[in-house]
Structures are given as C-alpha cells and as structure tokens.
Amino acid sequence: MSEFKKSINNIFMAKEYKNIINKFVKWVTLGGISGVIVGCFIALFLNSLVLGTKLREENQWLLYLLPLGGAFVSYLYVKIGKNSIKGNNLVIEAINDGEENIPLRMAPLVLFGTFITHLFGGSAGREGTGVQIGASISGFIGRVFKLNNIDYRILIVSGVSSGFSAVFGTPIAGTIFGLEVAAIGVMKHEALIPCVVASFTANFTTMLFNVSHSHYNMGERMTPSYSLFIKIVLCAIAFGLMSRVFSSLTHYLKKLLSKLFHSSSVKSFIGGIIIILLTFIVGNRIYLGLSLDLLSNSFTHEIPNSAFLWKTIFTSLTLSAGFQGGEVTPLFVIGATLGNFIAPFINLPISFIAGLGMIGVFCGCTNTPVASFIMGIELFGVNNLEYVFIVCIISYFFSGNGGIYSSQKAFRPTIMFKDEIEEKQIV
C-alpha cells in the first residue's frame, strides 16, 4: 500500500506535472485578461458600426465625404501609425516570425478608421478590425508582463481568436481561426488553452454590452443522394474559384493603385471618388458598408444576378484604396449572393446554397477550412453539417495557395497531382 501511495505521489508531484499546472494557470490568467479587455473594445467597435451605418442611411449625403474620410485616415496612418498600416499582415508576421511588435496604437487607429469607412459608405467588413484590436491589446499585455518571444507570439494568437470570436459571436470558430490563420496547413496547438479562454471570455464580455449578432437559416436538412453530392461539389468548386477571383483582384488593385498614386492619402481620395461613381452606375446603395440587408435577402428570395460581382468590385476597390475594415462580412455577402444566383440552375433551395456559399467563399479566401466548418455549425446548426464540410474542403483546395492574407505561410501544394510541387516551408 505504501508503495502504491508513493507511486501516486510521484505521478502528481512530478516536476513535469507542476510545470503543466503552472502553464495552465498562466495561460488561463493571461487569456482571461486579454479576453475581457478585447471584449470591451469589440463591443465599443460593433456599436460604433451600428451608429455609423444608421447615420449614413439617414443622411445619404455622407457618401460624398468618403474621399475626404479615406484621405484623412490614410494621413493618420502615415503620420502616427508606423507599421500599423500593414494591418492583418503585421499580425500574421508577428505570429510567424516574432520579429514585429504590434503597437497598441493599432487598436484605436483601426477602430476609428473602420468607423469612418462605414460612416461614409466604403464596402468593408469587421473581422480585420476585430483581429487587429485583439492582437494589439494582447501584444501590449505581453509587453506589460515581459513575456519571452514565444509566449508573446502565443498571446497574440489568442488575441486574434478573441477578436474574431467577439465580432461574430462564434467562440469555437474564433478559437480555431486564431490557431489556423497564420500558416496554411499548420495549426498552432501550443496556443490552444489561451485561445479557448480568450475567445470565450471576449464573446461573453461582448454579450454583456447587449451586442447582437446576425443569424441565418439554411432551411431543413437535405436528403442525401448522389445527385445532391455532385451538385454540392460543383458549387464548392465555384465558391473556391470565386475566392481566388476576389483575392487576386484585391491584390492586383492594391499594386496598381500604389503604383499610380504614391501618396496613400491621394490613393484613398481617388478610390473614394471611384466608389461614388460606381454607386451612381449601379443605381442603388446596397453594396455600401456591410450590406447586411443584401446578405439577409440572399437567404429568402432572388436578388440581382450580378450582386456577387458588384460586391466583389466594391469591396476590392475599398480595401485596395487603403480604407480600413475587414473582408469577412463582404465575403459572406459575396458567397451568399453567388449561392443565390446558382441555386435556381441546380434546382436546390436558395437558403441552402446561399448558406454553403457564405461559408465556402470565406473558407477559400482565408485558407481556414477547419475554422470555416466550425463557423458553419455555429451559425447554421448541425442539420447539414456534412455538406458544409464538403464545401469547406473543396473550396479550400480550389482556391489555391492564394488568399486575402499575403503574409500567410504556405505549407501545402497548390495542386496535389502535379509532378513537381513547390512548397513554402514554415520557419
């Protein structure tokens, strides 16, 4: 009996187990602190977007201030932003290489910049801002506690998770997104505990401020069949190709506008003018801001066939011209409207294909198939989870190594069946 007790004591008093407990307590504490602060900032941010959108819709003349608003925000980034101007790519570089510090100023700058974008009518989202706020605050906390380089990078990952989770109200997807987004094909499991804690804490904190999140319905469960499977595979390919179109267009426009206009303020000013002209050409304002009404309508009835193309153009131009904001909500709109367009041709419910498109295009552009699948479950439930899974995998494959984040490390072949495959190795 004494030998048995001795063995038990050796197990639970071992140095390794004490180290596990110490690390667990450390990351729960740091993740919790980060999650609470990030949740408060995200609540402020989301409420500001609601206010900005309401003001723009009630005062349509605000659109004509878009060029000036964009030029002013770009000026601020040049004068005081320093490396903050790199946005999400700065966050990803800090996670992957650990050579970049994420300044605290990034949080208020991107919050203000995104508010200006939405107030005056730029077509942008929220995720990028949420991620930058989370990473900026977590990076500051890491410096306060004087964390070493590895722990600092882990805490930044948790900040990404908390920011994403709080913006969309999806704590599990937020957890996985932070672990998955920095490198294609590799997940940072060492950050799992702080990501879980920060993600759930931030989401709960945001809920305390009565922030509401949009919900959509894919409809009833679809009966499995070979024909349904084939149709879904074809749709998933279309979503993956659409992801590639969006990413390629955005990167091309960024290079083109930067080449044409060396001043970032001038670039944003001209971009704002072009968006105003496009609004007159289209004849309505449904592609400005988040386009949440367009997204909601995609699940219920037919919308303009070209909606997914116009939203792609408006968003790519907005982001390429230097306006602040994220890509994910516009990607939701592009995917859902594309699904709405495809559904009648394959004789499937609009809500079902719109939901698959919403997740599929997001997945292809971000290269985060696991987070996308989990997000699909959190947003739509488990009724059609196997179809969401299929769409995520195939869209991810057909989107290639390209994506909206140019700093993502790549650790997978673009096409599996090539004789010669080039892979970028993770440092």
Mean pLDDT of 332-356: 96
User: Which residues, including other chains, have CB under 8 Å from residue 345's CB and lie 6 or more apart?
Assistant: none
Q: Output the six-digit token pair for 185.
A: 């094909």
- pLDDT tens digits for range 299-308: 998 899 999 9
Residue 316 belongs to some domain of the structure = yes
Pick the last residue of a domain from 152, 179, 208. 208
Give the pLDDT band of residue 240 (cuts 50, 70, 90). Answer: very high
Give the pLDDT band of residue 87 (cuts 50, 70, 90). Answer: confident
Q: Is the pLDDT of residue 426 over 60?
A: no
Mean pLDDT of 236-251: 96
Give the length of the chain: 427
Q: How far apart are CA 298 and CA 355, in angstroms?
A: 9
- pLDDT tens digits for range 398-424: 998 778 887 776 655 444 433 333 444
Residue 270 and residue 357 share a domain: yes
Residue 420: its pLDDT value, please?
A: 39
DSSP H stretches of helix in 307-349: 307-320, 328-346
Residue 243 and residue 197 share a domain: no
Residue 299 belongs to some domain of the structure = yes
Strand ranges inside 131-289, DSSP E: 183-184
Instruction: Write out the H or E segment, with its range, that includes residue 410.
Output: strand 409-410
Residue 21 and residue 135 share a domain: yes
In DSSP terms, 326 is beta-bridged to 125
Cβ 231 vs Cβ 68: under 8 Å: no
Mean pLDDT of 80-88: 81
Residue 422 belongs to some domain of the structure = no
Residue 415 belongs to some domain of the structure = no
Considering its fold, how many domains does the chain have in total?
A: 2
Residue 162: its pLDDT value, please?
A: 95
Q: How far apart are CA 160 and CA 147, in angstroms?
A: 17
Residue 10: its pLDDT value, please?
A: 60
Residue 421 belongs to some domain of the structure = no
Backbone phi, then psi, for 409, in 5-degree steps? -75, 140
Residue 156 and residue 113 share a domain: yes
Q: How far apart are CA 225 and CA 32, in angstroms?
A: 46
Q: How far apart are CA 425 and CA 427, in angstroms?
A: 6
Q: Which domain holds residue 158?
A: 15-208
Tell me the CATH number at 362: 1.10.3080.10
Residue 360 belongs to some domain of the structure = yes
Residue 10 belongs to some domain of the structure = no
Mean pLDDT of 101-115: 92
Give the pLDDT band of residue 248 (cuts 50, 70, 90). Answer: very high
- Between the CA of residue 398 and those of 187, 190, 245, 265, what are the distances in Å? 20, 29, 11, 36
421 residue type, one letter: I
Residue 195 and residue 51 share a domain: yes
Residue 195 and residue 66 share a domain: yes
Backbone phi, then psi, for 326, in 5-degree steps? -100, 180
Residue 361 and residue 270 share a domain: yes
Residue 271 and residue 126 share a domain: no
- pLDDT tens digits for range 9-64: 665 556 667 788 888 999 999 999 999 999 999 999 999 999 999 999 999 999 99
Residue 230 and residue 200 share a domain: no
Residue 200 and residue 241 share a domain: no
Q: Output the six-digit token pair for 168.
A: 């969309």
pTM of the model: 0.90
Residue 186 and residue 123 share a domain: yes
Residue 134 and residue 54 share a domain: yes
